[in-house]
Amino acid sequence: KRIVVFISGGGSNMLSLAKAAAAPDFPAEIIAVIADKADAGGLEKAAALGISTFSFVRKDFPSKEAHEAAILAELDRLRPDFLCLAGYMRLLSAVFIQRYEGRILNIHPSLLPLFPGLHTHQRAIDAGMKIAGCTVHFVTEGMDDGPIVAQAAVPIIPGDTPETLAARVLTVEHRTYPLALQLVAEGKVRMEAGRAISEAVGE
């Protein structure tokens, strides 16, 4: 399966996906990385692995629609089977999502449905949570609310700051996203009628 990864920043999740996909028996390959910033750190990391990179800088386009149209045109050339958002800090329009219905994954640094949106680690600490974690989900028109594919939890330790918690959550993000992508690329989990459907074990 052909995967395009979307990033806005350092791309540590993109790197984890690229490393996992390098395994000969992995059912997907990362064919390109797209960033919405020309200086996204992940672009250099992807290029160093020989992965094609593209940046579509929002301010270079007169509107959100024009920005997305340019990205969609490049995707038509790349012909991806799935898109993986990985630290991509921009909401996709309904038109864009419908174009890739059921074929867009995202990783979010909380145990959804808790703490959608931003500053998830500070909010979990402030709420007195004893666990935190990450969620890989199918992207739907709502923000951070699509059907869940995989989750992983970590403890919140007294004295944790958002930074120390973020670092602990990232370690399980880097394991969970490749696992989730493998399940989806193999067709073991798919989105149907707004739900994540898993193939029965052993089928």
* Contact positions vs ligand GRF (CB under 6 A): 7, 9-14, 86-87, 107-109, 134, 170, 173
The string over 16-42, giving b where at least 16 C-beta atoms fall within 10 Å of a residue's C-beta and e elsewhere, is: bbbebbeeeebebebbbbbbbbeebbb
| Residue showing the smallest CB distance to ligand GRF in the complex | 87
Residue 69 or 166: which CB sits closer to ligand GRF? 166
Secondary structure (DSSP) of 60-77: GSSSHHHHHHHHHHHHHH
Q: How many CA atoms lie within 13 A of 141 on its CB side?
A: 7
- Least Cα distance to 179 among 52, 19, 47, 51 occurs for 19
Residue 69 or 164: which CB sits closer to ligand GRF? 164
* Shortest Å distance, C-beta 42 to ligand GRF: 6
The answer to whether residue 137 is catalytic is no
* Shortest Å distance, C-beta 16 to ligand GRF: 8
Catalytic residue among 108, 121, 137, 174: 108
Q: Which two tokens stand for residue 199?
A: 């193939």
* Shortest Å distance, C-beta 120 to ligand GRF: 8
Residue 80 or 109: which CB sits closer to ligand GRF? 109
Residue 11 or 102: which CB sits closer to ligand GRF? 11
Beta bridge partners of 105: 84, 138
* Shortest Å distance, C-beta 28 to ligand GRF: 17
Whether 128 and 81 have beta carbons less than 8 Å apart is answered as no
Q: Which residues are catalytic?
A: 108
